[in-house]
Amino acid sequence: MKIRDIKVFACCPGRNFVTVKVITDTGVYGLGDATVNGREMAVVAYLEEHVVPCLIGRDPQAIEDIWQYLYKGAYWRRGPITMAAIAGIDMALWDIKGKLADMPLYQMLGGKSRTGVTLYAHANGETIGDTINKAQSQINQGFKAVRLQCAVPGLEVTYGVLGDKKDYYELQGNRPLPPEEQWSTAKYFNMIEELFCEARKQLGPEVKLLHDVHSRLTPIESARLGKLLEPYNLFFLEDVCIAENQDNLQLVRQHTTIPLAIGETYNSIWDCKELIQNQSIDFIRTAATHAGGITAMRRIADFASLFNVQTAPHGAPDLSPICFAAHIHLNTWTHNFGIQEYVGPGNEQVQKIFSHDIEVKDGLAFVSEAPGLGVDFDELAAEPYPYKRSYLPVSRLEDGTVWNW
Ligand code: GCO
Ligand code: MG
């Protein structure tokens, strides 16, 4: 069996997605997600110019060999663009293998460790009251875990809050130049404790509460936040500070018992090796699309299991449903799985272009029994929605200094 062709699609059904389709000489094909938000066309060029020509004629069943060929063979290792390109191919090859074996991916990984995958929903509001009401409505729909994000009084926009936009697509899908947003750590600290204090009071002790700091704090500020929020029993605190220097999280750890989650931007096991082996985190948030595919996620999950670290894959709207499907398979198999982020099924166009039968009920996702990943891509339905340049925002402190967005 040989790879006959590889097609790379960039479409924008509300926001941009890069989709890889590996086609074999028998007609069986596989799909992968290779989307890097705000840098989509770099991955398309990397794939079309540097990867596709090397793979035509190869055996699509040699997944590990192709992964190593693209990783070690390129000399230039790691980095978001390289690893998303590898991920797109890797997912598609696992999809093909599943179709050939007539088995869903989770079965090939080792079978089920659980029946349903626990999801956390988002609640974001303009005020504390508004955020808690939205969390309540997610709980009413059956979610047992909710991430709370609230606008910071005194700042025009806040990460994770919609403002006047109707959904994440309108918020993130059409920004031909990067908007600039202000950040103030002092203003954030004036709001954040009250949000969780009120949420616990009003939502009760059972619901799992989560929060994403989106890397805005320094390590010592992160430690302070952890201590402040400890009484409200968070399930995890995400991206509390940057960990380019992996010791940062060790410093936070020395001061607080709040569970820590990090890793959505990591592109390889090397970015989280020390975080995991030093047990300076509790949840690793790598995504199949950004960390090198299913082959790499499997390795990270097994390594993390040695150190009591659980997986909590990234599930933002800039990961396509192909990545979501891969995560649901991985999460169904991974024994040390923790929780999956979930922002809903996507808009009508997304659902039409990427079809699957993953069932979401009472805050759990149930894996597809279809062979491979169990998701399809409708090329014709994607055609009316071509790629549109769109950026993530850039953050500045009130004095104009560029800060982490
Ligand atoms: C999350 C993330 C996202 C990112 C986005 C950037 O936890 O869901 O932080 O919202 O901002 O994926 O591309
Ligand atoms: Mg995040």
Based on the domain organization, do 148 and 285 belong to the same domain? yes
The dihedrals phi and psi of 4, each to the nearest 5 degrees, come to: -95, -40
What is the residue range of 152's domain?
A: 108-371
Place of tokens 């060999």: 65
In percent, how much of the chain has pLDDT > 70?
A: 100
Task: State the average pLDDT over residues 103-124.
Answer: 98
159 is known as an active-site residue: yes
Based on the domain organization, do 295 and 187 belong to the same domain? yes
In percent, how much of the chain has pLDDT > 90?
A: 96
Q: How confident is the model at residue 61 (pLDDT cuts 50, 70, 90)?
A: very high
Task: State the average pLDDT over residues 101-113.
Answer: 98
Number of domains in the chain: 2
pLDDT in tens, 275-317: 999 999 999 999 999 999 999 999 999 999 999 999 999 999 9
Q: How confident is the model at residue 171 (pLDDT cuts 50, 70, 90)?
A: confident
Instruction: Provide the pLDDT for residue 9.
Output: 98
Ligand 1 site-directed mutation target among 158, 172, 212, 284, most atoms within 8 Å of CB: 212
Based on the domain organization, do 55 and 132 belong to the same domain? no
Based on the domain organization, do 53 and 135 belong to the same domain? no
Give the predicted TM-score (pTM) of the model: 0.98
Does residue 343 fall inside a structural domain? yes
Other beta carbons within 10 angstroms of residue 244's beta carbon come to: 8
Other beta carbons within 10 angstroms of residue 401's beta carbon come to: 9
Based on the domain organization, do 186 and 232 belong to the same domain? yes
Could you tell me if the CB of 264 is within 6 A of ligand 1?
yes
The rounded Å distance from CA 250 to ligand 2 centre is 19
- What lies within 8 Å, CB to CB, of 127 at 6+ separation is 150, 151
- SS3 label, residue 138: helix
The rounded Å distance from CA 214 to ligand 1 centre is 8
The domain boundary residue, chosen from 74, 103, 132: 103
Instruction: Provide the pLDDT for residue 169.
Output: 86
Does residue 50 fall inside a structural domain? yes
Could you tell me if the CB of 37 is within 6 A of ligand 1?
yes
Based on the domain organization, do 283 and 134 belong to the same domain? yes
pLDDT in tens, 70-96: 999 999 999 999 999 999 999 999 999
The rounded Å distance from CA 118 to ligand 1 centre is 19
Distance (Å, rounded) from C-alpha 343 to C-alpha 377?
20
- SS3 label, residue 157: coil
- SS3 label, residue 107: helix
Q: Are 182 and 153 in contact (CB under 8 A)?
A: no
Based on the domain organization, do 121 and 38 belong to the same domain? no
The mean predicted confidence, pLDDT, of the chain is 97
The rounded Å distance from CA 28 to ligand 2 centre is 35
Based on the domain organization, do 148 and 50 belong to the same domain? no
Based on the domain organization, do 57 and 170 belong to the same domain? no
Task: State the average pLDDT over residues 213-230.
Answer: 98
255 is known as an active-site residue: no
Please identify which of the residues 122, 211, 214, 329 carries the catalytic annotation: 214
Q: What is the CATH number of the domain that holds 21?
A: 3.30.390.10
The domain boundary residue, chosen from 57, 79, 103: 103
Does residue 382 fall inside a structural domain? no
Does residue 378 fall inside a structural domain? no
Please identify which of the residues 46, 71, 159, 385 carries the catalytic annotation: 159
Distance (Å, rounded) from C-alpha 86 to C-alpha 289?
9
Query: Could you tell me the CA-to-CA distances from 265 to 142, 199, 291 in Å, in that order?
Result: 29, 29, 8
The rounded Å distance from CA 92 to ligand 1 centre is 24
Based on the domain organization, do 296 and 334 belong to the same domain? yes
Query: Could you tell me the CA-to-CA distances from 64 to 4, 89, 269, 294 in Å, in that order?
Result: 19, 11, 16, 11
Ligand nearest to the CA of 404: 1
Distance (Å, rounded) from C-alpha 54 to C-alpha 98?
23
Where does 77-208 have alpha helices with state H?
A: 80-101, 105-109, 128-140, 168-172, 185-203
Q: Which of 127-131, 155-159, 252-256 has the lowest mean pLDDT?
A: 155-159
Closest ligand 1 atom to residue 212 Cα is 7
Instruction: Provide the pLDDT for residue 245.
Output: 95
Q: What is the CATH number of the domain that holds 137?
A: 3.20.20.120
Does residue 400 fall inside a structural domain? no
Does residue 396 fall inside a structural domain? no
Instruction: Provide the pLDDT for residue 201.
Output: 98
pLDDT in tens, 13-53: 999 999 999 999 999 999 999 999 999 999 999 999 999 99
Q: How confident is the model at residue 172 (pLDDT cuts 50, 70, 90)?
A: confident
Does residue 404 fall inside a structural domain? no
Based on the domain organization, do 95 and 124 belong to the same domain? no
Could you tell me if the CB of 318 is within 6 A of ligand 1?
yes
Residues that place a CB less than 5 A from ion ligand 2: 212
Based on the domain organization, do 97 and 137 belong to the same domain? no
Does residue 65 fall inside a structural domain? yes
The domain boundary residue, chosen from 103, 137, 167: 103
Q: How confident is the model at residue 165 (pLDDT cuts 50, 70, 90)?
A: confident
